Amino acid sequence: MGSMIFATLSALLALPAVLAHPAARSTKLSNTDTSLTLLYQNNLNGTDDANHISAILLDAFPASQAASACSALNERLLSESVIESHYDDLFYQLSYLVYDGRASPNQEFLINNGVVAFSQQRACLDFKPLPYGNARLPVLCTQSANASQPTNAVATSQNEITVPAGGNDYIGYRNLKSWRFSGIPYADQPQRWHYSSLYSGTGQTLNATIFGSECPQTHAGSENCLFLNIQTPYIPKAGSKQKPKPVYFWIHGGGFNSGVGSSAGTDGGNLASREDIVVVTINYRLSTLGFFAVPGTNITGNYGIADQILALQWTINNIASFGGDASQITIIGSSAGAGSVRVLLGSPPAIGKFQGGIAQSNLGGGVDLGLSSDYATSYSSYPTIEQGYELAGQQIFQEAGCNQTSLDAQIACLAAYDPVELVDLPTIADKVVQDGTYVNTEQLIVSVKNGSTAHVPVIFGTAANDGASFSTYPKGNNVMDELEGIQIELGINASYAQAIIDSGLFPYYDTANKTLDSFNVSQRVATDNQFRCVDEATVYAGAVSGAFERAYYYQSQRTEYGYDPNGLGGPPVEPGYPYGDPNLPYFRVHGSDNGWSFENLPVLRDAADLYSLQLEGSYYSWFAKTGQPNAPLAYLQARGYQTVIEGQRASGPWDPVKGLQGPVKLLDWPSTTSGFVDVPQCAFLNYSLTYYVDGGS
């Protein structure tokens, strides 16, 4: 059945990408005559969006042509009354244009029946009559696409725009906060277990208003899945490369066997509008379709990693057309996405294609406590092709019914297997391997500055209780004491469990629930063992050796959700906190801080959620702009970001790691635990330093 289904599916997916997106069509709205900057004073409080307006800034036109320039976008000239009713919004947006060098300190802008002038000296907006003659001034238009969330933004004939790039025309659209282009094919449909190639179609009009298919994963997906998405605050005039924006290049997580670049939680609209950066999110091949490798054949694995690098190359080639700076790309990912960042930092084909890296909750370690490996190990220590095949080679062939006597026949059988059924088999291949091209070392080399690792600024960090997601909570098994609980929860023997207790590094907090209390110990051990040790060691070694240009480390104390093994779902629900009180104890678990790096939270539980979102988002975005996370006061003042100013004053600048006792930012302002703390002392740090500083020798 798998072969027959796959043959039919292959015929369907062989259609040109231009037809894979329905209703590919042309539109009169374009950037042929002007650049288009979307202005929106975004405070990140989605419930407050209705009280704010966005506007579109055009290049300079004579007053006689200003109205028609707006009309070409299905908009009108902005009116004095609208500006007065949203004075602060427009004041700070124009103030930022002056700070950024896109307007003069006394710039005038054409509006309906007059001019609005920004005065830097007087710190105000003035309204004036139209100038005499045919003077050319930048134009302010209304922006009537009011959908403010990625889940309710819809393309219409009124908000679409066509942008030329790389020999094709891309139809995107706008919502309240950003210009949006979705489902852009960056590669031709890949052949199974062949490396992808850049999209070769030219002269096409591609519908970039809907997301492309996800790559095959549990019960869903298509092999024609190599798409990327762009959210941008700025579209330059066609052919222009003036004032490009930094690029945030997101690689999704999901254990290399699930995930998609079109998640609402990682939508780039807030970053585009509030931080003035371009956001790119990508799909890449997963599971056995992305990581299968067979010794002695040309099936060498790491197809998903190669896809990521190809998406980077497409971005370098084309992002200027969407307002991005190809020479200022920061790669960022969480979990397996962070593992991907770590791979790309040491991958020869990737080095030079990006200028900074952010790895959130990267996994690694696990070779201790009597264990030869655990779930986390392969994310930072890469098996050979032979080792990977031993884990998931013949098992996959057998489960697929590919029982032929020759390996070539087995491969031919598996190559014809239905893609979704293939990734649904009990055994899958999802390990990055040493293929000799994309990965040629067992670990990332941070012991020396020798060109094998990208010499760029980096940020590594974790959520406070990352390991809780990777420990076993013995539900229905009421443990008798701490020793028994640790053994069950970490899968180790009694002597190692006793050594953890005897070390005194992980205090036991007695709440009379021995199962929960022992788990509280185990999750702290797992956090060190599988996250903090490898990442602290990487940052420290890379800083000391000079392998990284600069290195920063963080721990997130405030997260979107938590893990409550007793089934309550995270932060405890209290009166006034229907979504949980984040100030009360809860396990801040794996992946639960992604919302802060994208400035997206579906629910604000308290004021601190909003303030921390604003502050932490500024850290990540300023890092993408400059390679260090501390935004200057003049910038924050120009943008009107007072809470960020207060947050920076409360917690001080975020210093790069220079030694084990250097400061680490706890990303939880405002709270009593914000500011500097010593780097959390990893219980297994000596082991990790030896393992990674010595380059795995």
Domain ranges of the chain: 2-27+150-360, 36-142, 458-693
pTM for this predicted structure: 0.92
What is residue 665's predicted lDDT score, i.e. its pLDDT? Answer: 55
Q: Which residues contact 346 (CB under 8 A, 6 or more apart)?
A: 439, 441, 444, 445, 452, 453, 454
What is residue 545's predicted lDDT score, i.e. its pLDDT? Answer: 93
For residues 215-238, one letter each, b for 16 or more C-beta atoms within 10 angstroms of the residue's C-beta and e for the rest, the string is: bbbeeebbbbbbbbbbbbbbbbbb
H or E segment and range at residue 368: none
Distance (Å) of CA 522 to CA 123, 496, 504, 528, 586: 56, 12, 13, 10, 15
Residue 346 and residue 454 in contact, taking contact as beta carbons nearer than 8 Å: yes
Residue 227 and residue 283 in contact, taking contact as beta carbons nearer than 8 Å: yes
Find, among 594, 665, 614, 653, the residue nearest to 332 by Cα: 594
pLDDT category at 677 given cuts 50, 70, 90 is very low
What is residue 666's predicted lDDT score, i.e. its pLDDT? Answer: 53
Q: What are phi and psi of 295, to 5 degrees?
A: -55, 140
Find, among 109, 174, 111, 102, the residue nearest to 145 by Cα: 174
Share of the chain above pLDDT 70, in %: 90
What is residue 126's predicted lDDT score, i.e. its pLDDT? Answer: 95
- SS3 per residue for 378-435: HHCCCCEHHHHHHHCCHHHHHHCCCCCCCHHHHHHHHHCCCHHHHHCCCCCCCCCCEC
Find, among 211, 253, 250, the residue nearest to 354 by Cα: 250
What is the arithmetic mean of pLDDT over 559-571? 75
Measured CA to CA, the distance from residue 393 to residue 50 in angstroms comes to 55
Instruction: Tell me the CA end-to-end span of the chain in Å, nearest whole number.
Output: 48
What is the arithmetic mean of pLDDT over 479-498? 94
Taking the CB of residue 358, how many other CB atoms lie within 10 A of it? Answer: 28
Measured CA to CA, the distance from residue 454 to residue 555 in angstroms comes to 23
Measured CA to CA, the distance from residue 413 to residue 85 in angstroms comes to 67
What is residue 563's predicted lDDT score, i.e. its pLDDT? Answer: 77
Is residue 524 over pLDDT 70? yes
For residues 541-559, one letter each, b for 16 or more C-beta atoms within 10 angstroms of the residue's C-beta and e for the rest, the string is: bbbbbebbbbbbbbbbbbb
What is the arithmetic mean of pLDDT over 464-488? 89
Q: Which residues contact 422 (CB under 8 A, 6 or more apart)?
A: 2, 216, 287, 288, 289, 400, 414
Residue 695 and residue 445 in contact, taking contact as beta carbons nearer than 8 Å: yes
What is residue 682's predicted lDDT score, i.e. its pLDDT? Answer: 52
H or E segment and range at residue 156: none
- What is 458-693's CATH number? 3.40.50.1820
Distance (Å) of CA 284 to CA 10, 130, 547: 18, 53, 28
Same fold, 2-27+150-360 and 36-142: no
Which of 6-20, 36-50, 495-509, 557-571 has the least mean pLDDT? 6-20
Q: Where are the beta strands (DSSP E) in 153-239?
A: 160-165, 168-174, 179-185, 205-207, 227-232, 234-235
pLDDT category at 79 given cuts 50, 70, 90 is very high
Is residue 625 over pLDDT 70? yes
Identity (one letter) of the amino acid at 666?
L
Tokens (6 digits) for 584: 């009360």
DSSP 529: I
Architecture of domain 2-27+150-360: 3-Layer(aba) Sandwich (3.40)
Segments in 303-366 forming alpha helices (H): 303-318, 336-345
pLDDT, tens digit (0-9, with 9 covering 90-100), for 424-464: 999 999 999 999 999 999 999 999 998 899 999 999 999 99
**Domain 36-142 coded CATH 3.10.100.10:** yes
CA–chain centroid gap for 331, Å, is 8
Measured CA to CA, the distance from residue 372 to residue 52 in angstroms comes to 56
Identity (one letter) of the amino acid at 46?
G
Distance (Å) of CA 31 to CA 27, 60, 187: 11, 14, 25
Q: Helix, strand, or coil here: 325? A: strand
- SS3 per residue for 26-77: CCCCECCCCCEEEEECCCCCHHHHHHCCEEEEEEEEEHHHHHHHHHCCCCCE
Pairing type for strands 36-40 and 234-235 reads antiparallel
Identify the residue with better confidence: 653 or 542.
Answer: 542
Taking the CB of residue 81, how many other CB atoms lie within 10 A of it? Answer: 9
pLDDT, tens digit (0-9, with 9 covering 90-100), for 245-279: 999 999 999 999 999 999 999 999 999 999 999 99
pLDDT category at 69 given cuts 50, 70, 90 is very high
pLDDT, tens digit (0-9, with 9 covering 90-100), for 358-375: 999 999 998 999 999 999
Query: How does the average pLDDT of the chain come out, rounded?
Result: 89
What is residue 566's predicted lDDT score, i.e. its pLDDT? Answer: 66
Is residue 3 over pLDDT 90? no
pLDDT, tens digit (0-9, with 9 covering 90-100), for 167-195: 999 999 999 999 999 999 999 999 999 99
Q: What are phi and psi of 562, to 5 degrees?
A: -140, 180
pLDDT, tens digit (0-9, with 9 covering 90-100), for 106-130: 999 999 999 999 998 889 999 999 9
